[in-house]
Amino acid sequence: MVVKPQVAKFPSIQLDSGETLSEVNVAYETYGELNAECDNGILVLHAFSGDAHAAGISEEDGKPGWWDNMVGPDKGFDTNHYCVISSNVLGGCRGTTGPASIDPATGSPYGASFPLITIGDMVRLQKMLVEHLGIKKLLAVAGGSMGGMQVLQWVVDYPESVVSAIPIATTLQHSAQQIAFNEVGRQAIMADPDWKDGNYYDGSGPMKGLAVARMVGHITYMSDESMREKFGRRRSRGRTPANEVSDLFEVESYLRYRGEQFVSRFDANSYLTITRAMDSIDLSAGYHSFGEALARSEARYLVISFTSDWLYPSYQSQQIVRTLRSRNLEVAYIELPSNHGHDAFLVEVGELTELIRDFLANTFRVMIARRHNQI
Amino acid sequence: MVVKPQVAKFPSIQLDSGETLSEVNVAYETYGELNAECDNGILVLHAFSGDAHAAGISEEDGKPGWWDNMVGPDKGFDTNHYCVISSNVLGGCRGTTGPASIDPATGSPYGASFPLITIGDMVRLQKMLVEHLGIKKLLAVAGGSMGGMQVLQWVVDYPESVVSAIPIATTLQHSAQQIAFNEVGRQAIMADPDWKDGNYYDGSGPMKGLAVARMVGHITYMSDESMREKFGRRRSRGRTPANEVSDLFEVESYLRYRGEQFVSRFDANSYLTITRAMDSIDLSAGYHSFGEALARSEARYLVISFTSDWLYPSYQSQQIVRTLRSRNLEVAYIELPSNHGHDAFLVEVGELTELIRDFLANTFRVMIARRHNQI
C-alpha cells in the first residue's frame, strides 16, 4: 500500500507558553476508511524521532512506516475495521511546523526563535487535525515512548474525546535519568560550533553534534543483552581517531552509521525542542494529582511495558496503572517479556498484535453498548 | 596527612603493540611504611579518570585522594600495617607519560602519535615502579572499575608477584554496551573541531566535546534511583540553549558543572587512549580461556560488586567468580547493597572497610603461614 503524506493547514495555534504560532502545517497520513458514524478513528502517536509515516510504503522514498508491522489490514490496528491517523508532532521536522519552518513574520526559518513547545501543544494540534477530519471522538489513542505521553495528555486535555487509550513503554513524567540522557544529547548539539545558537539554516547545521546525540539515544533504546546478542565484541573495519582504516568493534561502526544516517533526516533544533517538551511534561498541571487529571475521562486503558526496557522501565508504567486503578478506572496492564529494551515497542509484534486487536474490538463493543444504554 | 606526588623515571617501556616508549615517567604516592621484609606492600589502582592521589591531602591543591575514605591509618587499607602505593596509569595525564607528554624524539607533545596502550601496558609500568620501590611480591592489588581490570591483569601477567587480589565492580571484558558508552564519549571529543585529530596542544583543545563525554560518563556512574534521590525533577537557575538565564532541571546544571569541571583536569587524548585500553582488554590473550590465564596464580580473591551498578553489573563480577571457582581458586564474593550505581565503589565505605580490613589481615596471616610451611 503506497501512501502519500497530506498536509492540513491551520491559521494559528495557541501555545501553553502563551505565545501564538501562525500558519501552522500538520503532515499526516490515514490508513483505512472512516465509517459513516465517524466512530472508528484511531490516532497513533509517534515517538521522539518518528513522523507521520506510520504505515504502508512511502510514495516518496519507498520505505515502510515506523509501525507498519502493527497498522494495516489484519494487523493489530486493523485497517479493515478502523481508520488510523498519524501525524508529525508540532516542533518536528517531518512536514509539521517546527524550528526549521519559515516564520511568516520574517520570511526566514524560526531557528532559535521557535517557541517552547509542550506535549500539550502537540496534542492540541492533533485535536485540531482530528476535528478537521470530522472525528469528534476517537476510538483509541495509542503510542509508545513520547507517543505514550501524548496518549495520556489526550485523556487529560480532551477527556470526552477518547474512548480508549494505549500508552506503551511510557511514563507520567521523566525521571532525572531520562532528563539527563536528553540533556547530554542537547549539549552535544549545542557544543557543535555549526549549531550557531540555533540559526544555522544557511549552513550545514550541527551535523556532528546531532550524530553524537543520536548515538547516545541508540544505546538507551537497546538493552545490555540485545547489544550483546547483536554485536558482542565482534570487530569490523572502520576508521581510527586519526581517520586511518582500522579494526573497530562492530557496535562502534553501528553507532557511527546510525548517527550519520539520523543527521540526514532530522533537524537539530527539533531535537532540542522535542526533548525539552518530553522532559517538562506535567500531566497534573492545573490538577491536584495525576489521578485527578486522568479521572476526568472514562477512557479504558491498555498499558504495556517491556521487561528489558531500562529507559522507560516497567515501574513507570506500573505507576500509571496504580494511578488509574486508585480511581477505579478500567485498566489492563501487561508487562511483555522482551530482550529488545525500549526498542521492543517497535519490534515485539507478535503478542502485541493480539493484545491490541482484542482490546480494540472489545472497546468498540463496549462503546456501542454504552451508546445503546444511553439512548 | 599532606602528601606530595613523586615521580619515577624509566628509560623505556616495551608496549604490547610492539612499539617502545622512551623516557617514561610515573607519578605515584605512597602511604604507610614498607616493612623490613618488604611484604606489606599493597598497590591500589585507580579507575578511568583517577590519578596517583589516592589518599591524604594533596600538597598541591589541598584535596583529599579519590580513595581517602579507604586508605589511611585505621581505615580499610590500614597504613599502620601496610604500605599502600598508588600511581597514575600509562596514557594518563596526571603526571605519568601520556599523549600530552613531550615526545623526546620530537620535543613536542605526542598528541595523535601516542601509541595504542593496553591494560597490560599499564600493569607492566606498575610492575616496574613496584620493583623500583623494592617490592617483589605485593600483599594485595586492589581497585574498582578500570582499577579492577588492572587487578586481574596483574594476576595473569605477574602470577608470582601477587598474594591477593581485590577486583571491585569490574569485568573480565567490556560488553557491547560498555564499549558503546565509551565510543559516544570518544565521538563527542572527535566531533569537536578543536580536537584537530589529536594535535591540539597549541590551542584550547576539545573542551566542549570532552565535557559532553564526561556528562555521558556521569550518568552511567550513577543509578536511576540515586539520580532521583539527588535531583528528582527539581529546577534551578541556568542557561537556555540561546544562552538566556532560565529554569533548568537541577540534573542538567549538575551535568554541565561536572562536564566543565572535568575539562580543567583531564586531557582529551588520554580519554581516547584509556577508554580504548579498557574496551580492548583481553585477559585470555595467549591462553585458551580466562580460567587458564587466572589459574597461573595462587592469589586469593575478594570480588565485590554493587546491586545498583548497571555499568559494571554484578553478573560481570559473578563471571569472574565462576571462572576462579571452576579452577578451585580461593575466592570470596560479596554483592553489596547500594543505591549509588557504579559510584558505589568510591562511596560505600562502611561495610567495604570491614571486608577489606579483614581480608587483608587474613591474607597476611595466610602468607606468613605458607612461608613457614615452605621452610
CATH number at residue B73: 3.40.50.1820
Stretch A260-265: mean pLDDT, rounded? 95
Which position has the higher pLDDT, A116 or B374?
Answer: A116
Side-chain-side CA neighbours of residue A223 (13 Å) = 20
Buried b (16+ CB within 10 A) or exposed e, A140-154: bbbbbbbbbbbbbbb
CA distance A14 to B54: 57
Residue A275 located in a structural domain:
no
User: Is A184 within the bounds of a domain?
Assistant: no
Q: What grid cell was written down for B137?
A: 611480591
B162-192: b or e for each residue (b if 16 or more CB lie within 10 Å)? bbbbbbbbbbbbbbbbbbbbbbbbbbbbbbb
**pLDDT-derived band of residue A245, with 50, 70 and 90 as boundaries?**
low
End-of-domain residue from the set B228, B258, B275: B275
* Parallel/antiparallel/unpaired status of strands B71-72 and A57-58: unpaired
* Dist CA A148 CA A200 (whole Å): 31
Which of A191, A212, A249 faces B179 most closely, judged by CB atoms? Answer: A249
The answer on B151 and B115 residing in a single domain is yes
User: C-alpha grid cell for residue A159?
Assistant: 477527556
- For residue B374, the model assigns a pLDDT of 75
Record the pTM.
Answer: 0.95
Strand pairing category for B102-103 and B83-87? unpaired
Do the chains contact at A208 and B191, CB–CB below 8 Å?
yes
Looking at the structure, tell me whether residues B109 and B47 fall in a common domain.
Answer: yes
Which tens digit of pLDDT belongs to each residue from B224-252? Answer: 999 999 999 999 876 555 555 567 899 99
Q: Are A177 and B228 in contact (CB under 8 A)?
A: yes
Answer whether B174 touches A (CB < 8 Å). Answer: yes
CB contact at 8 A, A190 and A275: no
User: Do residue B233 and residue A176 have CB atoms under 8 angstroms apart?
Assistant: yes
Which of B79, B38, B33 has the alpha carbon at shortest distance from B55? B79
User: Is A318:A333 a contact under the CB 8 Å cutoff?
Assistant: yes
Nearest by CB to B232, from A176, A184, A219: name it. Answer: A176
Q: Write out chain B's pLDDT in tens, 375 residues.
A: 899 999 999 999 999 999 999 999 999 999 999 999 999 999 999 999 999 999 999 998 999 999 999 999 999 999 999 999 999 999 999 999 999 999 999 999 999 999 999 999 999 999 999 999 999 999 999 999 999 999 999 999 999 999 999 999 999 999 999 999 999 999 999 999 999 999 999 999 999 999 999 999 999 999 999 999 999 999 987 655 555 556 789 999 999 999 999 999 999 999 999 999 999 998 999 999 999 999 999 999 999 999 999 999 999 999 999 999 999 999 999 999 999 999 999 999 999 999 999 999 999 999 999 988 876
Residues B59 and B79 in one domain: yes
- Whether residues A180 and B252 touch (CB distance < 8 A) is answered with yes
Residue A37 has pLDDT above 90, yes or no: yes
| Per-residue confidence band for A244, with pLDDT thresholds at 50, 70 and 90 | low
Residues 6+ apart with CB under 8 A from B193: A193, B206
Q: Catalytic pick from B157, B192, B267, B309?
A: B309
* A230–B190 CB contact, under 8 Å: no
Quote the CA–CA distance of B259 and B214 in Å, as a whole number. 5
Q: Is residue A22 within 8 Å of residue A104, measured between CB atoms? A: yes
B175 contacts on A by Cβ (under 8 Å)? 224, 227-228, 233
Residue A267 placed within a domain: no
Would you say residue A199 lies in a domain?
A: no
Establish if A48 belongs to a structural domain: yes
Q: Which amino acid is at B290?
A: F
User: Could you say which DSSP state residue B162 is in?
Assistant: B
SS (H, E, C) chain A: CEECCEEEEEEEEECCCCCEEEEEEEEEEEECCCCCCCCCEEEEECCCCCCCCCCCEECCCCCECCCCCCEECCCCEECCCCEEEEECCCCCCCCCCCCCCEECCCCEECHHHCCCCCHHHHHHHHHHHHHHCCCCCECEEEEECHHHHHHHHHHHHCHHHECEEEEECCCCCCCHHHHHHHHHHHHHHHHCHHHHHHCCCCCCCCHHHHHHHHHHHHHHHCCHHHHHHHCCCCEEEEECCCCCEEEEEHHHHHHHHHHHHHHCCCCHHHHHHHHHHHHHCCCCCCCCCHHHHHCCCCCEEEEEEECCCCCCCHHHHHHHHHHHHCCCCCEEEEEECCCCHHHHHHHCCHHHHHHHHHHHHHHHHHHHHHHHHHC
pLDDT tens per residue, range A220-234 = 999 999 999 999 999
The answer, yes or no, to whether residue A247 has pLDDT greater than 90, is: no
Measured between CA atoms, how close is A216 to chain B, in angstroms? 6
State residue A221's pLDDT score.
98
Is B219 in contact with A184 (Cβ distance < 8 A)?
Answer: yes
**Which CATH number belongs to the domain containing residue B222 in this structure?**
1.10.1740.110
Q: Looking at the structure, tell me whether residues B233 and B291 fall in a common domain.
A: no
Same domain, B168 and B183: no
Distance of CA A24 to the CA centre of its chain: 19
Q: What amino acid occupies position B11?
A: P
Which residue reads 529494551 in cell numbers? A341
- A287, part of any domain: yes
pLDDT per position as a tens digit, B136-157: 999 999 999 999 999 999 999 9
**DSSP β-ladder status, A20-31 and A83-87:** antiparallel
Q: Which chain B residues contact residue A176 at CB under 8 A?
A: 224, 227-228, 230-233, 249, 251
The predicted structure's pLDDT at residue A238? 63
Query: A185-189, A236-240, A259-263, B127-131: which has the minimum mean pLDDT?
Result: A236-240
Q: Which helix (H) or strand (E) holds B87?
A: strand B83-87
Together in a domain, B152 and B262: no
Scan residues 95-124 of A and list those with Cβ closer than 8 Å to B.
Answer: 112
| Tally of CB atoms within 10 A around A85 | 25
In a domain, A179, yes or no: no
Contacts of B251 in chain A (CB under 8 A): 176, 179-180, 183
What share of chain A has pLDDT > 70, as a percent? 97
- Is residue A229 domain-resident? no
Query: Shortest Cα distance from A181 to chain B (angstroms)?
Result: 7
My answer on whether B315 and B261 are in the same domain is no
What value does the mean pLDDT of chain A take?
95
Number of other CB atoms surrounding residue A101 within 10 Å: 21
Which residues fall within 8 angstroms of residue B286, CB to CB, at 6 or more apart? Answer: B293
Largest Cα–Cα distance in chain B?
75
- Please tell me the distance from the alpha carbon of residue A116 to that of residue B319, in angstroms, as a whole number: 48
Domain boundary among B248, B275, B302: B275
Structural domain count, chain A: 1
Same domain, B45 and B154: yes
A52 in contact with B, Cβ within 8 Å: no
Residue B238: its pLDDT value, please? Answer: 63
Distance (Å) of CA A335 to CA A144, A355, B170, B224:
14, 12, 31, 20
Annotated active-site residue B17? The verdict is no
DSSP single-letter state for residue B89: P
Q: Which of A176, A179, A212 sits opposite B212 (nearest CB)?
A: A212
Q: Exactly one of B49, B86, B101, B145 is catalytic; name it.
A: B145
**Does the model's ipTM exceed the 0.90 cut?**
yes
Residues of the domain holding A294: 2-174+281-374
User: Within this chain, do residues B62 and B157 fall inside the same structural domain, yes or no?
Assistant: yes
Tell me which H or E stretch contains B8.
Answer: strand B6-14
